Amino acid sequence: MNSKQIAGEKACEYIQDGMVVGLGTGSTAYYMIQKLGDRVAEGLNVTGVVTSKATEKLALERNIPLMDLNDVTEIDLTIDGADEVDAAFRGVKGGGGALLFEKLVAHASKKSIWVVGEDKVVETLGAFPLPVEVVPFGYKQVERQLEEKGYNPILRHHEDGSIYLTDSQNYILDLQMKAITNPEALNDWLNNLPGVVENGLFLNYASSIVIGFSDGSVEVRDK
């Protein structure tokens, strides 16, 4: 078992009968969803709320009942991956491009558990490029302002060279910052830029972090 599988499957244990569960996106959340599919097949009664089209496809394949975010008042628990996590339970997300829906679902959740391999735990956020979702119209204006700040934005592309589009048909600018010294200030500044839809800083969402290790062990950190 790899560290992602260990973390994903461990976090699935926190899902209880009758819960409305936010289903995260990515290769670690994948294992949680697979395990949840097994538990649903055994009779567990849950309703999932997805954070991406990819997760919707996976959940439907595993026969997990789903509801639209518009139709739930509150989500009991969301389990999602992260690209970086620091000791203050702040994180960078959006490597898989689902940051907007992930933040909407996290915001509607009573609790959020992040599932990560040990390599995602960092002292300072920012070595992983910070995704910023922008509307295509006039996005070069946003890009210019990010360049002026020295944040080195790179427009995300697919391997075939086409521009990457999010599930909401927006672009992503990945900021190469190396270190984010004041995540709260950066989050505020980014969210005040016209054209920015959302950014990948998740500062006050994770209530627990489940860390999988390559030696097969797992650690749960509660805030």
Q: Which is nearer to ligand 5RP, 81 or 195 (CB)?
A: 81
Closest CA to 5 of 24, 25, 31, 34: 31
- 97 binding ligand 5RP? (CB under 6 A): yes
- 32 binding ligand 5RP? (CB under 6 A): no
Q: Which residues have CB under 8 Å from 194's CB, separation 6+?
A: 142
Give the per-residue contact string, 101-120, with ligand 5RP (x = CB under 6 A; - = no): -x------------------
- Beta-bridged to residue 153, according to DSSP, are 175
How far is 90 from 82, CA to CA, in rounded Å? Answer: 10
Closest CA to 146 of 105, 207, 102, 194: 194
- 129 binding ligand 5RP? (CB under 6 A): no
How far is 96 from 20, CA to CA, in rounded Å? Answer: 23
161 is in an annotated binding site: no
DSSP class of 42: T
Q: Find the catalytic residue in 102, 133, 143, 198.
A: 102
Give the chain's radius of gyration (CA, Å).
17
Would residue 147 show up in a list of annotated catalytic residues for this protein? Answer: no
- 2 binding ligand 5RP? (CB under 6 A): no
How far is 168 from 118, CA to CA, in rounded Å? Answer: 31
**Smallest gap, in angstroms, from Cβ of residue 158 to ligand 5RP?**
15
**Smallest gap, in angstroms, from Cβ of residue 129 to ligand 5RP?**
11
Q: Where are the beta strands (DSSP E) in the chain?
A: 20-23, 47-50, 75-81, 84-85, 91-92, 109-117, 130-134, 153-155, 171-175, 196-199, 201-202, 208-212, 218-222
Site for ligand 5RP in 65-84 (CB under 6 A): 80-83
Q: Which is nearer to ligand 5RP, 25 or 187 (CB)?
A: 25
**Smallest gap, in angstroms, from Cβ of residue 108 to ligand 5RP?**
17
- 99 binding ligand 5RP? (CB under 6 A): yes
**Smallest gap, in angstroms, from Cβ of residue 113 to ligand 5RP?**
12
Which residues contribute to the annotated binding site for substrate?
A: 25-28, 80-83, 93-96, 120
Which residues are marked as active site?
102
- Give residues in contact with ligand 5RP (CB under 6 A): 24-29, 80-83, 93-99, 102
